[in-house]
């Protein structure tokens, strides 16, 4: 059984990181990262930073002044952060969204760990190699774009995006510009028509019991619902009843957090400890 270490005392030399967003009271990130810092005996702390809409640029610009080593960024400030930091990775340029900032000696760098985090999750947790495989993604927002970019980078053969409004997929198309994966757009009414090797829910649907129109799935299909609350969604239940392998969203959350941790500290992330902290925090809120 993995135990979650208690946080260490904070003093003047403690390195500080946090999460900028609105709201952030629901975030699992403080519990996940503080457990990881304690497990490796690192003199670091992670704090929530509630920043109202419209104030994101100022908050990001102030990180260095306040002595922060970095920060995570969540809604609604990911795009603002991309416009304020000094340097951007290629993933950020494609997605136009920053979820991790590293404050270095001379500059701040914006990263997006969702794309490599999804790739890590698929390969390490689900044992799924996207190369030559087909995928169907529900949604066209930030999470969907990050997943689609990971799949296209890994040479998936085809990605079908299910969106209520085709116009909402313009940013997703831009994110995949120049990559060879075939991209198709369809509506919810047609989503169940064609099978895919991987099915991903990157929408909020399912949090309140909604059922998505799953395509044909069987024992060879991987289904991933990026929701992690509830722990088992209607999509996961239906997929398993039909013989598919199904995962929730905790894996992606942990792998993107681990990548942030590694960017800040230079240490391999203690994933087992981070997972235990996330599960304990979810249980406390249930």
| Phi (first) and psi of residue 224, to 5 degrees | -125, 120
CATH number, domain at 89? 3.40.50.10860
Q: Are residues 269 and 185 in the same domain?
A: no
Give the β-pairing of 198-201 and 182-186. unpaired
Whether pTM > 0.75 for this model: the answer is yes
Q: What is the pLDDT of residue 3?
A: 52
Same domain, residue pair 243 and 127:
yes
Confidence of residue 167 (pLDDT cuts 50, 70, 90): confident
Q: How would you classify residue 31: left for phi > 0, otherwise alpha for psi between -120 and 50, otherwise beta?
A: alpha
Q: Residue 120 domain-assigned?
A: yes
Mean pLDDT of the chain: 94
Q: How many domains does the chain have?
A: 2
At 136, is the pLDDT very low, low, confident or very high (cuts 50, 70, 90)? very high
278: domain range? 15-112+251-285
Given 77, 78, 120, 145, the catalytic residue? 78
Same domain, yes or no: 231 and 271 = no
In a domain, 6, yes or no: no
One domain for residues 170 and 255: no
Both 126 and 69 in one domain: the answer is no
Both 205 and 122 in one domain: the answer is yes
Identify the three-state secondary structure at position 61.
Answer: helix
Band of residue 8 on the pLDDT scale cut at 50, 70, 90: low
Q: Is residue 7 part of a domain?
A: no
Annotation marks residue 272 as catalytic: no
| Per-residue pLDDT at 120 exceeds 90 | yes
pLDDT digits (tens, 9 = 90+) for 225-277: 999 888 899 999 999 999 999 999 999 999 999 999 999 999 999 999 999 99
Q: What is the pLDDT of residues 55-80, one digit of tens each?
A: 999 999 999 999 999 999 999 999 99
CB distance 142 to 97 below 8 Å: yes
């Amino acid at each position: 059984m993995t135990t979650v270490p208690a946080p260490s005392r904070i003093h003047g030399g403690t390195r500080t990181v946090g999460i900028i967003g609105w709201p952030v009271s629901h975030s699992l990130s403080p519990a996940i990262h503080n457990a990881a810092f304690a497990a490796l005996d690192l003199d670091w702390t992670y704090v929530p930073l509630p920043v109202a809409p419209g104030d994101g640029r100022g908050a990001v610009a102030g990180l260095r002044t306040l002595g922060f080593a970095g920060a995570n960024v969540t809604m609604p400030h990911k795009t603002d952060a991309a416009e304020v930091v000094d340097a951007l990775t290629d993933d950020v340029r494609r997605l136009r969204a920053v979820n991790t900032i590293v404050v270095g000696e001379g500059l701040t760098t914006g990263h997006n760990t969702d794309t490599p985090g999804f790739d890590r999750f698929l390969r390490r947790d689900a044992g799924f190699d996207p190369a030559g495989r087909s995928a169907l993604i529900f949604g066209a927002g930030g999470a969907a774009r990050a997943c689609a970019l990971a799949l296209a980078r890994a040479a998936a053969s085809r990605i079908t995006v299910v969106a209520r409004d085709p116009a909402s997929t313009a940013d997703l198309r831009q994110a995949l510009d120049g990559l060879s994966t075939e991209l198709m757009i369809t509506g919810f009414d047609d989503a169940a028509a064609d099978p895919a090797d991987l099915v991903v829910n990157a929408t909020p649907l399912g949090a309140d019991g909604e059922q998505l129109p799953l395509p044909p799935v069987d024992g060879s299909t991987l289904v991933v619902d990026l929701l992690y609350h509830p722990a088992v969604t209607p999509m996961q239940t239906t997929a398993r009843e039909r013989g598919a392998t199904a995962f929730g969203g905790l894996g992606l959350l942990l792998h993107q957090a681990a990548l942030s941790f590694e960017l800040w500290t230079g240490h391999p992330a203690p994933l087992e400890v981070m997972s235990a902290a996330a599960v304990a925090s979810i249980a406390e809120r249930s």
